[in-house]
Amino acid sequence: MSLKSERRGIHVDQSELLCKKGCGYYGNPAWQGFCSKCWREEYHKARQKQIQEDWELAERLQREEEEAFASSQSSQGAQSLTFSKFEEKKTNEKTRKVTTVKKFFSASSRVGSKKVPPERVEKIMDQIEKYIMTRLYKYVFCPETTDDEKKDLAIQKRIRALRWVTPQMLCVPVNEDVPEVSDMVVKAITDIIEMDSKRVPRDKLACITKCSKHIFNAIKVTKNEPASADDFLPTLIYIVLKGNPPRLQSNIQYITRFCNPSRLMTGEDGYYFTNLCCAVAFIEKLDAQSLNLSQEDFDRYMSGQTSPRKQEAESWSPDACLGVKQMYKNLDLLSQLNERQERIMNEAKKLEKDLIDWTDGIAREVQDIVEKYPLEIKPPNQPLAAIDSENVENDKLPPPLQPQVYAG
């Protein structure tokens, strides 16, 4: 089911099922049978539940440590926690990805002798988060104990393989032919890429928020009306595919682990972050059915054998940007050159194989003839020696006869 058919609620294929939540829209297999709206809600609920459980676990661990410390101070003979219990706590802490940093943001740390305005508390917490995470960044970002790096490589490879996906396939309501919209798309891509250069979770969230606002503005300019949430998610997916942000999974996990939970569970920052997680999950499960393509075309596009047909020059609007037209023309020429090069390489490999086979065949025929008619090479004849060459007693022979002439 495509995003377009999902948004409009149009029945495209009788074999497809409705949204599992029963909202009346059609579900998408890439979203586990939910429609985009219901899937975002379910994903947000699950993430909020996970964050709440991590928060409660951090508070429980802190209380246990405080109780253990108080017990050791009250009694000199009291023993500390056993090694097995300590290992159990560390295992639970690692499993839930809870770090000591979260203890600074627990409820008990906010209780003081005097009441502090909530705005000031949030500001102080932001400053503490900035100070701590700046110093610990190289130790807690993409640690060796996790598989974040492996996930980064997998999603990067996946996005690179999906570089052929066009805005029309995702039903993106953005017209990049308009210069203003094209600039906003570039800014959105720049913001999502810039996220990796930030060290503080709040700053990384700010990059996601700026990227999302540029997307909403681009949709608004294109449609001449305020953008909806159903328009935003496909466009965000397109921006992620086009930008291929570095270390995307590591940044998402870093924000999840160390950002102030209240910031992720409420407000626009949390909403945009949840949509980014949904976009990444959609990309990981993207298939032919999600793009309304046949499996054969999808496999050919993924393997790089061919690419979707570019927009023809005749279909451009009169006010389209000349630079964009030239770019698509150059891309079309490069695609044609690439196809020609592939054909030449295939023919060259075939010719090389034919030459090798011909050489091997000639060698086999010569070998068969040599084995059938072996060549015998005789040694050269010895030169004839003089008659008296072996006579060592030449001095004892009589002199040769001399002709005699008689007078007659």
Instruction: Give the pLDDT confidence score for residue 285 in this predicted structure.
Output: 92
CA distances for 25 relative to 30, 273, 280, angstroms: 15, 24, 22
Query: Which residue numbers in the chain have pLDDT < 70?
Result: 1-18, 24-34, 36, 39, 54, 58, 72-114, 309-320, 382-397, 407-408
Provide the CATH topology of domain 116-303: Glutathione S-transferase Yfyf (Class Pi); Chain A, domain 2 (1.20.1050)
Instruction: Give the pLDDT confidence score for residue 79 in this predicted structure.
Output: 45
Instruction: Give the pLDDT confidence score for residue 282 in this predicted structure.
Output: 93
Instruction: Give the pLDDT confidence score for residue 107 in this predicted structure.
Output: 46
The Cα 73–Cα 52 span in angstroms is 32
Q: Has this prediction a pTM greater than 0.85?
A: no
**Residues 141, 97: contact at Cβ < 8 Å?**
no
- How big is the CA angle at 327 (ends 323 and 333), to the nearest 5 degrees? 145
